[in-house]
Structure 1
Amino acid sequence: GQRRRTARARRAMAFGGLLALLAACSDDTGVRSTGAEGSTASTTEVTTTTAPAASTTSEAPTTTQATPAGDGTIDWEDDGFGTQSGYLEVPLDYADPAGPTIRLYVVRHPAADPSARIGSLLVNPGGPGFGGTVLAANAEFIYGGALLDAFDIVAWDPRGTGYSEPAVDCVDDYDRYFAVDSSPDDQAEQDELVGLAEEFVQGCVDRMGDVLAHLSTADSARDMDAIRRALGEEQISYFGFSYGSELGATWATMFPTTVRAAVLDGAVDPTVGYLAQNVQQAAGFEATFATFLAQCSADPACAFHNGGDAEGAFDALAAAADAAPVPTEAGRPPVTQGVLYTAVSDAMYSQGSWGQLEQALADLQAGDGRGILDLYDDYYGYEGGGEWDDSLEAYFAIGCLDDPGSTGPADLYSHEDEFAAAAPRLGRGWMLELTICSVWPEPPAPPVVITGAGAGPIVVVGTTGDPATPLQSTRNMADALEDGRLVVVTADQHTGYGLNSCVDGAVEGYLLDPASPPQDELNCG
């Protein structure tokens, strides 16, 4: 579960106080951070085209430096937004460097002060499944001025995502698979979920073919080294959010001598498997949602106040949606219990969405499910007109390959009570997305046990009320690293950079001078 919002970490994009800025900026600039339409699974060898305009574990650890990636080049083009973009060709399978190739879409925001330039800062927003180039395209809204002066901010769409080719594409209509009741009450409902999961996965196999075996986080870490070599840098810096922490820690473990500095914000727990991560995340969402309900009960101005019993009112709504889903709009699904749980999860990534959820729940009580549907649509990337972005499909293709979490549906559902115990209101809603990984056709990729040995100090940022990557998860990442430096921010928020001057100063000071990292267990209030 690292994003793994409900089971993904909001789609892990809600970093710090910057989510609203990013949403506004990306709409204006047209950056595509989702799967390219029309990509096909069999397209593993591609020809050069003009880059689109950018805008705004159980096995032994990897302890030696991985074999460097090939020496490709990026033909940069000026995008007209203060950024440059291009493609880098890399092997589909690094064990077969002369075989089929794929292309990574890369965007660079050049250092604002060439005289102060240190080098390149690779950045990743999380996921898995998101294209990452939005971070470079909108760099001036995300990173502090000193970082913008000193670094080329370089982002890429990880293999299988965004404008990288081919992008994962499995199905055309998400509603069929994800607007159902995601918390089965009996064997018949469980069988329905398994059948839908098998149908979804078969779509991935039919459209993506051999590509599905080569989308692991370790494959993307090798791509990072290929980007470093294409940039001509012996060492490079990295800043990753949410799932980007897993990617960055994997890269630092595989290629430690190439690490100049690395920051991991909202870190995934590297000490437990996918299933246990999801139980942790369910508990994190439950705790944050309990805070939301308690605040609403205590505040008569809350739209869902319900005479001081928001908790009881929500429980009644969930039961009612399970018995009789609430209509939304023509051609769209009603609010099932699964749609309701997804909407709640979407809003828990940032307190900035809590007011929207309050009103949506109040509207649902009045028989209007459109506000809940809006939050569901945000979670799954609905673009209108029956169109969806492809980030969810890439999420499964990457995450299920890294660790399916179970050996099959029977094994998965034997753990259902663990989710209910960890999250009495929301936990059983995790079953739908987990079921897809339980029937994933590709065998898991060999695990890389995170150590960061030889990479030097790595800064790990966590917030006290993070629902997607709870603080203990981030703490476990810092402890797993040979020299992890934990920075803690007090906030009910997924990721911490951008929340206050203390955390920003610690992160930026370290990136500018890795020889002076913050002390471990720095409390930024």
Structure 2
Amino acid sequence: MKLLRGTTALSCALAVVLAGTGGAGASGEGAPGVARPVSSIDWQPCDGHAALDCATVPMPIDRADPAGATVPIAVARAKAAKPLQRKGVLMVNPGGPGGSGVDFAFRVAEDHEFSQALLDSFDIIGFDPRGVARSAQLRCDAGVLWETWPWDPMSEEDFGGVLAHNDRVARSCQRDNGALADHVDTTSVVRDMDALRELLGEDTISFYGRSYGTLIGQQYAESFGRNLRALVLDSNMDHSAGVADSLVPENLALERSFTEFAAWCRRTPSCVLHDRDVLALWDDLYAKATAGELGWATPKHLRSRASWSMYDPERWFGLAEFLESAAEGTGAARSARPDEELATTTQPIWCGDWQWGEADSYAALSTYRAQAEAVAPHTRLTPFYEDVLACLGWTGAVNNPQRPLHVPHAPPILMTNSLHDVATPYEWAQNVARHLPTATLLTYDGTGHGNYLLSTCARAAIDTYLLTVRTPAPGTHCPAEWPTAEPAGTTYPNTPAVR
């Protein structure tokens, strides 16, 4: 669906506001509210973050009904530390779906996840996308979300169970969140983002999006490219990908990343498996888990731990220790279920953006799975396989299904991606770059997800681009960086979440 541009779309966003919104303080959760006119943001000090400003800005849940119910969008701002050299607004999103832009703004400003040069020169703006965190966090029936379902369907009956489970989740989310559950897709988010731009009084904005945040950036460029000063897409989603183009690159990325880990361990004396054949050890553990001989761990558990560890090579020390304890029979696993009646979820967001019609039968799904596993003889199957399963049989709204990008107007864009990235494979970035005529793709030749924090070279290139809107030369590569010692105080979850 073609999005409206400029003030046409904006007039809908500005037509409504929640009664008594005031300063949100970035604490607690919003809820749909009643409409009345507004034309500015009422900034107040953020709760617990006095150096930043916070606010809650209502947006229409359904833009076809601009005077109807609204969703409160939580926003945080860190003003440019050197106002005389201010270059404008830099909006940020850390990914997800479900990542909090407000929390990201806190980290960027207070923990210096961004360089001082950026903090000096930009007002950093983070917002929680609709249905996320303080912006009316989606909550659905925990009993439905956490019910036992065939996450690894091996029969027609299992496949039917997947469809039935997802239908129950969709109906639960619609029941517990009302119309919002059907309007949390990324096209809705980018319209909220442009409305925020107008409320901030900015003709143009800069944007840094990481991981799922790149989908927000890509689609903002598509619909509001004339309103962009600069756009950084760090670790890229590919919203044109079908089942095969999703699973095969993801499986290849996990296999190649794990192979890189094994090679690193072999040459790094501080790795506890330095004197072991890591691939052989993994294969043995995987075979035992498949046979049910590791009561504390399933193949899914092993794959999830391996995939999570590939996000940042500093986690490799913990992965090696985990595998060593597993081989010695001292490993343990914990699981947790929410005690609350309603549990948070991002499934309506994901399934509002992705539709996997090619896998509409057990036979088709099995074929795609076999193709994906064939390229990964050691790691077998990416945990993101479940992202395909999550939307099969989904009966909620799918307002933003996959399609190629079409960006007629945009400034020079900087894309960056790791060569080995389990969450957003390099092949995705290459394909997106082909659809962005003004983009330059900077390649980080290492392993991991989120290049600004992984690569000194990529960080410098991103800073330079945001400050000057000058991209690196086409075809530029940044060298891989590898840890030599485990960071002090590092802790590792026993059963890590993949996203």
How many matched pairs?
A: 447
Paired residue for 1:419? 372
Pick closer, same or farther for the CA change 1:429–1:146 going to 2, 3 Å.
closer
Paired residue for 2:178? 209
Once the two structures are superposed, the pairs formed by residues 290-301 of structure 1 within 5 Å of their partners are: 290-296=259-265
Paired residue for 1:245? 214
Among 282, 306, 312, the residue aligned to 1:314: 282
Shift of 1:74: 2.1
Paired residue for 1:351? 313
Pick closer, same or farther for the CA change 1:308–1:106 going to 2, 3 Å.
same
Distance 2:277 2:212 in 1: 36
2:409 is paired with a residue of what secondary structure?
Answer: coil
Matched, 1:283 2:249: no
Distance 1:236 1:358 in 2: 43
Paired residue for 1:75? 42
Shift of 1:496: 1.5
Pick closer, same or farther for the CA change 1:490–1:71 going to 2, 3 Å.
farther
Distance 1:290 1:175 in 2: 34
Pick closer, same or farther for the CA change 1:446–1:500 going to 2, 3 Å.
closer
- The unaligned stretches of length 5 or more in structure 1 are 1-43, 56-69, 328-333
Distance 1:260 1:385 in 2: 43
Pick closer, same or farther for the CA change 1:157–1:189 going to 2, 3 Å.
same
Among 295, 316, 326, the residue aligned to 1:364: 326
Distance 2:422 2:269 in 1: 25
Pick closer, same or farther for the CA change 1:465–1:435 going to 2, 3 Å.
closer
* Percent identical: 29
- 1:57-101 CA-partner distances (Å, limit 9, x unpaired): xxxxxxxxxxxxx97532111124311111111111112211211
Matched, 1:485 2:453: no
Once the two structures are superposed, the pairs formed by residues 39-188 of structure 1 within 5 Å of their partners are: 48=21, 51-53=24-26, 72-79=39-46, 80-140=49-109, 141-165=112-136, 167-172=137-142, 176=146, 182-186=151-155
Conservation of the 8 A alpha-carbon contact between 1:85 and 1:105: yes
Shift of 1:200: 3.7
Conservation of the 8 A alpha-carbon contact between 2:141 and 2:342: no
Paired residue for 2:31? none
Distance 1:273 1:72 in 2: 41
Shift of 1:297: 5.4
Matched, 1:523 2:485: no
Shift of 1:385: 7.4
- The unaligned stretches of length 5 or more in structure 2 are 1-16, 29-36, 480-499
Shift of 1:354: 1.2
Conservation of the 8 A alpha-carbon contact between 1:235 and 1:259: yes
More off after superposition, 167-176 vs 408-417? 167-176
Paired residue for 1:445? 399
Given residue 372 of structure 2, which amino acid in structure 1 is its aligned partner? Answer: F
Given residue 420 of structure 1, which amino acid in structure 2 is its aligned partner? Answer: E
Distance 1:345 1:388 in 2: 30
Distance 2:443 2:113 in 1: 20
Distance 1:281 1:71 in 2: 45
Pick closer, same or farther for the CA change 1:174–1:490 going to 2, 3 Å.
farther
- 1:106-133 CA-partner distances (Å, limit 9, x unpaired): 1111110111112110001011121221
Indicate the RMSD between aligned Cα atoms, in angstroms: 3.1
Paired residue for 2:417? 462
Conservation of the 8 A alpha-carbon contact between 1:194 and 1:409: no
Given residue 44 of structure 2, which amino acid in structure 1 is its aligned partner? Answer: E
Once the two structures are superposed, the pairs formed by residues 328-407 of structure 1 within 5 Å of their partners are: 334-370=296-332, 373=334, 393-394=345-346, 396-406=347-357
Given residue 319 of structure 1, which amino acid in structure 2 is its aligned partner? Answer: A
Distance 1:302 1:280 in 2: 28
Among 256, 267, 270, the residue aligned to 2:236: 267
1:237 is paired with a residue of what secondary structure?
Answer: strand
- 1:212-251 CA-partner distances (Å, limit 9, x unpaired): 2211111111011011011111111111111111110100
Pick closer, same or farther for the CA change 1:46–1:409 going to 2, 3 Å.
farther
Pick closer, same or farther for the CA change 1:446–1:275 going to 2, 3 Å.
same
2:74 is paired with a residue of what secondary structure?
Answer: strand
Distance 1:388 1:337 in 2: 30
Given residue 507 of structure 1, which amino acid in structure 2 is its aligned partner? Answer: I
Paired residue for 2:390? 436
Given residue 126 of structure 1, which amino acid in structure 2 is its aligned partner? Answer: G
- 1:331-353 CA-partner distances (Å, limit 9, x unpaired): xxx43222222222111111111
Pick closer, same or farther for the CA change 1:160–1:262 going to 2, 3 Å.
same
Shift of 1:309: 3.0
Distance 1:512 1:415 in 2: 44
Distance 2:448 2:221 in 1: 26
Conservation of the 8 A alpha-carbon contact between 1:53 and 1:85: yes
Conservation of the 8 A alpha-carbon contact between 2:132 and 2:138: yes
Shift of 1:520: 2.3
Shift of 1:442: 2.5
Pick closer, same or farther for the CA change 1:491–1:136 going to 2, 3 Å.
same
Conservation of the 8 A alpha-carbon contact between 2:247 and 2:385: no
Pick closer, same or farther for the CA change 1:301–1:146 going to 2, 3 Å.
closer
Given residue 519 of structure 1, which amino acid in structure 2 is its aligned partner? Answer: A
When the two structures are superposed, what TM-score results if normalisation uses the length of structure 2?
0.80
Distance 2:121 2:100 in 1: 24
Shift of 1:49: 6.7
Shift of 1:323: 3.3
- 1:41-68 CA-partner distances (Å, limit 9, x unpaired): xxx988637524469xxxxxxxxxxxxx
When the two structures are superposed, what TM-score results if normalisation uses the length of structure 1?
0.77
Paired residue for 1:12? none
Pick closer, same or farther for the CA change 1:420–1:266 going to 2, 3 Å.
same
